[in-house]
Chains A and B, each alone.
Chain A
Amino acid sequence: MQDHSPTTDRDTSPGAAVIAVDKLSLTFQTADSPVHALDDINLNVERGEFISFIGPSGCGKTTLLRVIADLEQPTGGSITVNGMSPHEARVERAYGYVFQAPALYPWRTIAKNVGLPLEIMGYSAADRAERVARTLALVNLSGFEQKFPWQLSGGMQQRASIARALAFDADLLLMDEPFGALDEIVRDHLNEQLLELWAKTHKTVIFVTHSIPEAVFLSTRIVVMSPRPGRIYDVIESDLPRERTLDIRETPEFLAIAHRVREGLRAGHSYDD
């Protein structure tokens, strides 16, 4: 491994397209009838954005994220990640992925879990130690290096899994309902920390959620999706300032965006039942 940060020689200016999706569709062939998980998806994600996919379950938001991550194969249309196919991007380790569950390996300590991608990607031991310490500090988990996952709370485990996704400095962070299983108090706290982290690291974040306040609080752009077939119903630009605290959720601007998201969800949902 010579170059551990494959994006250094690429266009890192804000505004460059990280992800370009064009007329993308994905149909799962099941025993009784085909399921149209995604249909006619068009989307461009620019560098440094914080994008949320929101929608009811079955709207394909996780599937779309998994297509970007090359964990699912689309059946139509085209998609590029960093100007490459998702497969090439995955091989180049272009993104860090945070799952719904922390997915920490129970037999590894927190430090070793965060170091796992670094081991796989062939970083030297010294480099690994430095990066693990740095990313654990970033998610406020310094001092927990030698603990095993079961010794940490759910929120701390999810922070460790975020540290793991950050450890190898991919510019793109894909997050699939990472706080969905946590209680609201912990979730608020982690939302604030995630925004801080985003401001510090200048990463592009794609965030899947089914919580309206979470989506509005975090995002620069909100993609509202509707189910059966999974489609993009609305894309909402947020005019909230980038620096936000939880108090912003009481402001009329915030509520206006939240209202529009809710309207979108309702309309996209209405023909459903």
Chain B
Amino acid sequence: MTDTTAGAPPREGLFARLMAGTTGPVIVVCLAIIALWYVGAFFLNAPFAREMLARADEAYTFSDLLQRTMNEERPVLPSPHQVAREIYETTILKKPTSNRSLIFHSWVTLSSTLLGFVMGTVLGIILAVAIVHSRTLSRSLMPWVIASQTIPILAIAPMIIVVLASIGLTGLFPKSIISTYLSFFPVTVGMVKGLRAPDPIHLDLMRTYSASQAQVFWKLRWPSSMPYLFASMKVAIAIALVGAIVGELPTGAVAGLGARLLTGSYYGQTVQIWSALIAAAVIAATLVTIVGIANRAVLARMGQSE
């Protein structure tokens, strides 16, 4: 904000400054979502609440109804404060090592997400390098890469888990394989584009030096693909998390956010489901932000800003 607001009352100045950055708009959007959520919770829980109140055979007021919709034990849509309380109880009040702790379950999912993401990124880059450097591979490999993503992950996940379990691999690794399966794809597609991004004139320059293919790769193709790599890693890390959660579903896993969702739905614990979903969303947002920060740091080192 410029000097024009200097004469305005300080509160207005603060608000204007808040709205000028990203903080203000983000807060406004969050408040709007929470408000909508409350409205939704009321309308979705109201039929059941009305029925219950009617059964009690007493006259009830609107505020009785409102009260009830906000505090159902097994609501269709739990209200935000119920989810907040659940999250508070399962993070702050429980030891992180307890299997009732959301932090414990989040860590289980996060570790397989990160392992899967790293493996997926490495695999994605290797495939992209192969595709860019070989005409044959670019024709033969790319259709398979695309076909791999047309198979519903829910269908293939149990098979991966079962096959790997039969050769003695259980626990973290099979789950992260599913994350890998999902996350290599955006990295491959992004890096094929990124490694082919250099201007023809930049490639000609390398030719005039009669540079080797390895030199062209490390001094030209790799650095010019950085923006593409980070853009695809942002997508990859988010779907790696999805992969890890999906990988927990078919195994009857006892730990992880996926297991939390599964037990929640067995017992109709919608509050638990929603708090696990919120935890997943927070983890995803944090991971994407970290990739974004790494992106900015790398580009700043390369003398570029986004």
Q: Give the distance in Å from the alpha carbon of A101 to the alpha carbon of B199 in the complex.
A: 11
A16 sits at the interface (CB 8 A):
no
For chain B, the bracket of interface size reads 20 to 34
Q: Is the CB of A99 within 8 A of B210?
A: no
Query: Knowing A101-B201, A103-B199, A103-B201 touch, does A109 contact B208 (C-beta < 8 A)?
Result: no
Q: Is the CB of B211 within 8 A of A107?
A: no
B219 sits at the interface (CB 8 A):
yes
Q: Is the CB of A120 within 8 A of B215?
A: yes
Beta-carbon nearest neighbor of B206 in chain A? A120
Q: Is the CB of A105 within 8 A of B202?
A: yes
A97 sits at the interface (CB 8 A):
yes
Q: Is the CB of B223 within 8 A of A105?
A: yes
The residue from A69, A105, A107, A108 contacting B208, defined by CB atoms under 8 A apart:
A69
A106 sits at the interface (CB 8 A):
yes
Beta-carbon nearest neighbor of B202 in chain A? A103
Give a binary string over A6-48; 1 marks a CB under 8 Å from any B CB, 0 the rest. 0000000000000000000000000000000000000000000
Q: Across the interface, which residues of B come within 8 angstroms of A99, CB to CB?
A: 201, 204-205
Q: Give the distance in Å from the alpha carbon of A71 to the alpha carbon of B210 in the complex.
A: 11
Q: Across the interface, which residues of B come within 8 angstroms of A101, CB to CB?
A: 201
The residue from A95, A119, A121 contacting B219, defined by CB atoms under 8 A apart:
A119
Q: Across the interface, which residues of A come within 8 angstroms of B201, CB to CB?
A: 99-101, 103
A1 sits at the interface (CB 8 A):
no
B10 sits at the interface (CB 8 A):
no
Q: Give the distance in Å from the alpha carbon of A69 to the alpha carbon of B207 in the complex.
A: 9
Q: Is the CB of A120 within 8 A of B209?
A: yes
Q: Give the distance in Å from the alpha carbon of A165 to the alpha carbon of B278 in the complex.
A: 57
B220 sits at the interface (CB 8 A):
yes
Q: Is the CB of A106 within 8 A of B304?
A: yes
B303 sits at the interface (CB 8 A):
yes
Give a binary string over B192-205; 1 marks a CB under 8 Å from any A CB, 0 the rest. 00000001011011
Q: Is the CB of B220 within 8 A of A105?
A: yes
Q: Across the interface, which residues of A come within 8 angstroms of B210, CB to CB?
A: 90-91, 93
Q: Give the distance in Å from the alpha carbon of A31 to the alpha carbon of B202 in the complex.
A: 27
Q: Is the CB of B219 within 8 A of A120?
A: yes
B52 sits at the interface (CB 8 A):
no
Beta-carbon nearest neighbor of A102 in chain B? B201
Q: Give the distance in Å from the alpha carbon of A91 to the alpha carbon of B199 in the complex.
A: 22
The minimal Cβ–Cβ distance linking B230 to chain A, given in whole angstroms, is 14
Q: Give the distance in Å from the alpha carbon of A109 to the alpha carbon of B302 in the complex.
A: 9
Q: Is the CB of B209 within 8 A of A71?
A: no
Q: Across the interface, which residues of A come within 8 angstroms of B224, CB to CB?
A: 105, 107
Q: Across the interface, which residues of B come within 8 angstroms of A155, CB to CB?
A: none
Interface residues of B in 153-195 (CB under 8 A from A): none
Beta-carbon nearest neighbor of A90 in chain B? B210
Q: Give the distance in Å from the alpha carbon of A70 to the alpha carbon of B208 in the complex.
A: 8
Query: Knowing A90-B210, A103-B199 touch, does A116 contact B204 (C-beta < 8 A)?
Result: no
Query: Knowing A103-B199, A107-B223, A107-B302 touch, does A120 contact B211 (C-beta < 8 A)?
Result: yes
The minimal Cβ–Cβ distance linking A14 to chain B, given in whole angstroms, is 25
Query: Knowing A103-B199, A103-B202 touch, does A90 contact B207 (C-beta < 8 A)?
Result: yes
Q: Across the interface, which residues of B come within 8 angstroms of A95, CB to CB?
A: 208
Q: Give the distance in Å from the alpha carbon of A96 to the alpha carbon of B209 in the complex.
A: 8
Beta-carbon nearest neighbor of B216 in chain A? A120
The residue from B202, B208, B211, B303 contacting A97, defined by CB atoms under 8 A apart:
B208
Q: Give the distance in Å from the alpha carbon of A101 to the alpha carbon of B231 in the complex.
A: 28
Q: Is the CB of A93 within 8 A of B209?
A: yes
User: Quick one: which of B204, B206, B209 has the most chain A CB within 10 A?
Assistant: B209
Interface residues of B in 191-250 (CB under 8 A from A): 199, 201-202, 204-211, 215, 219-220, 223-224, 226
A148 sits at the interface (CB 8 A):
yes
B interface with A by C-beta (< 8 Å): 199, 201-202, 204-211, 215, 219-220, 223-224, 226, 302-304
A interface with B by C-beta (< 8 Å): 69-71, 90-91, 93, 95-97, 99-101, 103, 105-109, 116-117, 119-121, 148, 150
A-B contact pairs, 13 of them (CB 8 A): A69-B208, A70-B207, A71-B204, A90-B210, A101-B201, A103-B199, A105-B202, A105-B219, A105-B220, A107-B224, A117-B209, A120-B206, A120-B215
